[in-house]
Amino acid sequence: MSELERLVDLVPFLKARPGIRVEEVAEAFGVTPKRILADLAILQFVGLPGGLYGDLFDVDIDGARSDGHIFVRNVDALGRPMRLTHDQVASLIVALQVVMEMGGDDSAAKSALAKLKELSLGAEPPVSVAVQSGDAEVRAALNSALEERRAVRLTYRPGGRGATRTAIVEPARLRADSGYVYLDAWSRERAAWRSYRLERIVRAETLDEPVAPREVPEQLDSWFGDVTHTLTVVVRPRGRWCADYHPTTQVREVDEGLEITFPLVSDEWGARLLLSLGEDAVRVSNADVAELARSLARAALEQYGRP
């Protein structure tokens, strides 16, 4: 169950069980008591549009923290039909399309999507979202492992290219971010949290090993956490964009502009980065990457000059 699904289910669950203990709720949802308290903190800011007093759910967060009992009030709006604006309908349609791309049992999402499209008279939303969600079999295996709370053996390509690696992980959730779907999981080999882009996972094998729920931190190491080499580039002010566009390990101001250190997935990746920067790259720490960039540029010019 994703964080969003849990939050949606949590309100009616608590409404029907006033005074239930935090530990009981955590056990019912398969998470830690700390996670439930964090969910309650979020629910304080959820409710009807407007966000004024009386619009939001009344969550006794202090009581839950002190004596362990949960009381949620002012949730009667859950039993009333929602009145959505056109923009709200369009936003929900886009969000549901992303949910369906992530796989799993999407029957509820399909049903809701059909009803929302009826509300919008069949009109498509003014924007569309493309999500890189990887192989359908991989998504199905991961969703199954998440539902059954089992470990998974991943075969993946760090950085999206080169030789594959394997890792046994304990999956925690799937999430979409900046057009990609990620698996957040506990890496047993590294004894740390990692995020894996689904499009880079070649195979996911569900193991017959149950896993206990863990508290997922807000920030997770990505695929680049496995990368041991770095590339430092000094760029002119016009090249500052690359610090926002690519993962970095260090960024600092220098006289020429910006000194940026990137995790170096491969020499080819570094060479393509330098080519994209062009004259805005002033200095490069890796001579091999710089020479490869020059070779690729020469080859491109030769190809361009052929009739």
pLDDT band of residue 281 (cuts 50, 70, 90) is very high
* pLDDT one-digit tens code per residue, 139-184: 889 988 988 899 999 998 865 556 788 999 999 888 876 667 888 8
Specify the amino acid at residue 158. Answer: P
What is the rounded end-to-end Cα distance, in angstroms, of the chain?
58
* pLDDT for res 264: 83
Is residue 297 pLDDT above 90, yes or no? no
CB under 8 Å to 58, separation ≥6 — which residues? 72, 73, 74
Q: In what order do the strands lie in the sheet with 192-197?
A: 192-197, 180-187, 165-177, 150-156, 201-210
Q: What angle do CA 18, 19, 23 make, to 5 degrees?
A: 120
Give the separation between CA 31 and CA 23, rounded to whole angstroms.
9
| 3-79 carries CATH number 3.40.1280 | no
Helix, strand or coil for residue 131?
Answer: coil
* Residue 243, H or E segment: helix 241-245
Of the ranges 16-30, 158-172, 187-201, 265-279, the best mean pLDDT one: 16-30
Written as six digits, the tokens of 106 are 């999407």
**What integer is the mean pLDDT of 225-248?**
80
**Where exactly are the structural domains of the chain?**
3-79, 86-119, 136-226, 230-305
* pLDDT one-digit tens code per residue, 12-54: 899 889 999 999 999 998 888 988 988 888 887 776 655 555 5
Residue 225 or 257, more confident: 257
* pLDDT one-digit tens code per residue, 125-144: 554 554 455 678 888 899 88
136-226: CATH topology: SH3 type barrels. (2.30.30)
Beta bridge partners of 169: 152, 187
